[in-house]
């Protein structure tokens, strides 16, 4: 399963402005562990219409201990380089930005025990091509 979604849960984060001023939220993905349905974090995709930049952050659930977290973003047309932030984080990964005026983007997120976690305790999403500007 690439996209782990579940019912609305108490403690689900709201976007905290992690991409900075000028960015507005255009999408978010609440992430839940397939094993037990526990909320583990939320990925946020934002856009700055003045600069043509997309930005993504992944906020980790406050109740979850430090986990391996990944957030990545790239243009779907293959131009430029993918940008990501990953590591053991207790609050968030990112922000990561990509200039994509005139193109679509692909964005991905992951929360697990480590960077090789393929168990049902890992939550992940993949969206794109998406937000074609």
Residue pair 86/62 in contact by the 8 Å Cβ criterion:
no
pTM for this structure? Answer: 0.85
pLDDT for res 60: 92
| Length in residues, the chain | 133
pLDDT at 73 over 60: yes
DSSP helix/strand/coil, 6: coil
Rounded Cα–Cα distance for residues 42 and 128 (Å):
17
Q: What is the pLDDT of residues 107-116, one digit of tens each?
A: 999 999 887 7
């Amino acid at each position: 399963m690439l996209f782990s979604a579940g019912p609305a849960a108490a403690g689900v984060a709201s976007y905290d402005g992690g991409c900075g001023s000028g960015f507005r939220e255009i999408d978010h993905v609440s992430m839940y562990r397939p094993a037990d349905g526990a909320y583990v974090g939320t990925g946020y995709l934002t856009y700055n219409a003045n600069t043509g930049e997309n930005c993504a952050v992944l906020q980790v659930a406050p109740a979850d201990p430090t986990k391996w977290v990944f957030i990545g973003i790239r243009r779907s047309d293959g131009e430029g380089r993918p940008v990501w932030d990953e590591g053991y984080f207790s609050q968030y990964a990112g922000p990561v930005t990509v200039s994509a005026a005139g193109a679509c983007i692909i964005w991905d997120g992951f929360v697990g025990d480590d960077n090789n976690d393929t168990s049902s305790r890992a939550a992940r999403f993949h969206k794109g091509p998406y937000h074609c500007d």
